[in-house]
Amino acid sequence: MLEKTDSEPSQPHSLQASCFCGAISYRVEGGPVFSLYCHCTICQRIHASPFVHVIHYHTGSFNWIHTDPNALFTKSELDSEWKEWRCLSCLGAIASENPTEGRWSLRGAHFHRDAEGMIENWHLIEPTGHMFYNTRMLDVNDGLPKWEGYAGGSRRLDIDDKN
Ligand SMILES: [Zn+2]
Ligand SMILES: [Zn+2]
């Protein structure tokens, strides 16, 4: 008979997040497709913020975990590229869904925090750069790569501009 050990076998990473009021929550499994600060004008206007910490996960990694099926609403058209979901209670934009690409776009600020207010397991979702930096409302001098559009698929502004 096998002895029980103190350490569990290593589990795939599972992270949870909630909207401002807590009525909406979700869980993601495994690593993100990417985690970046987004300076696009859509994020700026939806969140009324100079930039937003955006995390993409594959559809298979994402699950809603709140219990009220009527807690979510969207006004996005069915054929829109990104379907923006909001909480019916706090009206916060909690996540957007791209069924064509099989992606969920999430916001780092919604992920669960410890007693000091810091996001738990930050190293798993820490941003690796800045995208859509061309439409930035402020410069960020953090040493991370700055992309004109999506990371890897557009011009590096922090390199190409220094010629
Ligand atoms: Zn809410
Ligand atoms: Zn954006």
Averaged pLDDT, 147-161: 89
Task: Give the closest residue to 34 by CA, choosing from 132, 143, 134.
Answer: 132
Residues with C-beta atoms within 5 A of ion ligand 2? 38, 40, 43
Which residues, 6+ apart, have CB-to-CB distance to 131 below 8 Å? 36, 37, 38, 39, 40, 54, 147, 149, 150, 151, 154
* pLDDT tens, residue by residue, 72-124: 999 887 677 889 999 999 999 999 999 999 999 999 999 999 999 999 999 99
How far, in Å, is the centroid of ligand 2 from the Cα of 66? 25
**46 pLDDT above the threshold of 80:** yes
Q: What is the rounded average pLDDT for all residues in the chain?
A: 91
Provide the pLDDT for residue 12.
66
How far, in Å, is the centroid of ligand 2 from the Cα of 12? 28
How far, in Å, is the centroid of ligand 1 from the Cα of 85? 11
Residue 160 pLDDT class (50, 70, 90 cuts): low
Assess if CATH 3.40.50.2300 describes domain 14-160: no
Ligand nearest to the CA of 91: 1
* pLDDT tens, residue by residue, 114-146: 999 999 999 999 999 999 999 999 999 999 999
